Each structure stands twice: as structure tokens, then as C-alpha cells.
Amino acid sequence: MKVAVLSDIHSNHIALRRCLDDAFARGAQRFLFLGDYTADLAYPQKTMEILYALRESYDCSFIRGNKEGYWLNYRDSGEEGWNDNTVASMLYNYRNLTPRDMAFFESLPIVKKLEFPGLPSMTICHGSPCRINENMRPNDPRTFEILDHSDTPLILFGHTHLQGRIARGKVCAYNPGACGMPYRSEGKAQYMLLHGKNGTWREEFISLAYDVAAVIQEMHASGLYEKAPYWSFITEQLLRTGKITQGCALKKVMDLCKKETGVCIWPDIPEKYWQQGLKEMYPEYAGHMPQV
């Protein structure tokens, strides 16, 4: 049995299609998705249409990521607390989701145990089996604690956007990397194949070149870059190089704000700190920063 595992698509339907085409070519028979289907990039409905079509023809398992939680919480709050100045990219994606999408996200479990005849069982989650937005990192005592308490020999997780394997005793945790927004991948889309044979699973981590330029062009064509220039700039650099995560960039901007004002509460971050933060993080692009 060959099982394809994908996580953190973030509306990157072009990278998703590239990974799926590769998985088909390698003979994947089942697909596991670990959350964060839409966010940050253009035309989220194209991603959802691919996923809906796939589950019509293949055995697929889906779980909820923290992004799906954002969309559901925002809807349930009466759509209060976000505005176009600070979270324009999130609002763009949310406004392009359909009632069908929201019902699908609402139906998804946060963690799920999967059984395979003659093969070890596994737990699939987004952040960790304990929390949807928890970071499972190598050599972290908290990660080891999670593995020590696992009731399955395998854990599949995403969220950190870092492809890799963590072992602890008889338990292994695998992160397939981020399909749509990978970190430390030199701009390549990532997923994982699990090969089940003779009572064991063997992992195969895969990184694929794809048309990053087309993804960035869609950000401009859709109006997303105009709506969220700073966030889109950060996203573009991550797509191209995989070097600075969006979370690290956001922390930098908030730290600058906090240092000067004493407090910084997301999403209310003044524009001047975005400009200052981008200049410090990306000095090589000083003449090409977004102008608002």
C-alpha cells in the first residue's frame, strides 16, 4: 500500500496539483490531508475543488487545521474583530469560501486514529494530538512527552512546515512538510509517501520543483497583493526561498511595535512597523518594498 500525506496547502492549488500528479505517478492509493487547506494565496476555491474531486475517486482522510479553525471562529463570532487593514489576506480567503467549504471544515475532526490491515496504526493531526496549533519540534521535551503518551506507533503532523522524522522509543512522528508554503525547501513543494509492506511502514520524503512564478502572478491578478501588500511580500519571499516563515516575520514586526509602544496586540499593528520590519528582514529588496 502507498499512502500520500499532504499538509499546509494554504490555497496553493498549483503546488497541490504538482504533488498529486507526482503521487499518482508513484502509485498512491490513499491520501491523508493534515489541515490548513486555504490561506495566504489566491483563488482558494481552486484548491477546494481539487480536494472535492479527489475524494470522489480516492480513499481520502481529512483533518482540521488551525486555519480552518480561524474561518469557523470568525464566522461564529458574527464576523467581528478583523479588518481589511490588518488581516486583509485572511479576509480575502474567508470571503472566497462557500457554505459548502464551511460545512466541510466543520465536519472535520481535530485528531483521528487510522487502522490499516496488517500494518501499524497511526494518529493524524495538524499541530499535535493534543492541540491543533501546537508545534512539534525535534529535540523538544514537549514533543518527547507527546510521543511517550501516544497510543499508536505513528503520528503524522504538520503545522511547522518542516519536513522530517522524530523518533522516541517505539514511536515515530512524521511531518510531510508543507505542500503549499514549505519552509527550508528552496521553493519546492513537499509531501510524503508511506510505503506499507510486510507489516511495516517506510517513509519517503518528496520535494518537487513547480511553477512558483505562476503562484505569485495569481497573487497580483487576483488583487490579493494590492489588498495585503506587506503580508503578500513576505509570502512571496517564502515561496521563492523558503527562508523566513510568516510567523517569524510577524514576530519581528510585533517586537518592533512592542519595543517602541510598550504593547502590540494582533491584528492592530501600525503600518510603520511593517515597513521597518520588512526593510530589516529583507535588506536586499530595499528598493522593491510594497508601497501603500
> 164 vs 64, 173, 178, 223, CA distance in Å?
21, 8, 11, 35
**CATH fold label, 2-208:** Purple Acid Phosphatase; chain A, domain 2 (3.60.21)
**What residues form DSSP beta bridges with 165?**
174
Would you tell me how many other CB atoms lie within 10 Å of the CB of residue 25?
Answer: 8
> 182: cis peptide before it, omega within 30°?
no
What's the distance, CA 168 to chain centroid? 25
Q: What is the pLDDT of residue 182?
A: 93
For residue 20, give the nearest of 193, 141, 175 by alpha carbon.
Answer: 193
Q: Domain extents for the chain?
A: 2-208, 227-288
Q: What is the pLDDT of residue 291?
A: 66
User: What single DSSP character describes residue 20?
Assistant: H
Query: Tens place of pLDDT for every residue, the chain, 292 residues?
Result: 999 999 999 999 999 999 999 999 999 999 999 999 999 999 999 999 999 999 999 999 999 999 999 999 999 999 988 877 668 999 999 999 999 999 999 999 999 999 999 999 999 999 999 999 999 999 999 999 999 999 999 999 999 999 999 999 999 999 999 999 999 998 999 999 999 999 999 999 999 999 999 999 999 999 999 999 999 999 999 999 999 888 899 999 999 999 999 999 888 888 899 999 999 999 887 666 676 6
Q: What is the pLDDT of residue 289?
A: 67
Q: What is the pLDDT of residue 286?
A: 64
84-122 pLDDT, tens digit each: 766 899 999 999 999 999 999 999 999 999 999 999 999
Q: What is the pLDDT of residue 138?
A: 95
Whole-model pTM?
A: 0.95
How buried is 117 (Cβ within 10 angstroms: 0-12 exposed, 13-18 middle, 19+ buried)? exposed
Q: What is the pLDDT of residue 86?
A: 65
Query: Which residues touch 89 (CB under 8 Å, ≥6 apart)?
Result: 39, 40, 224, 227, 228, 231, 232, 235
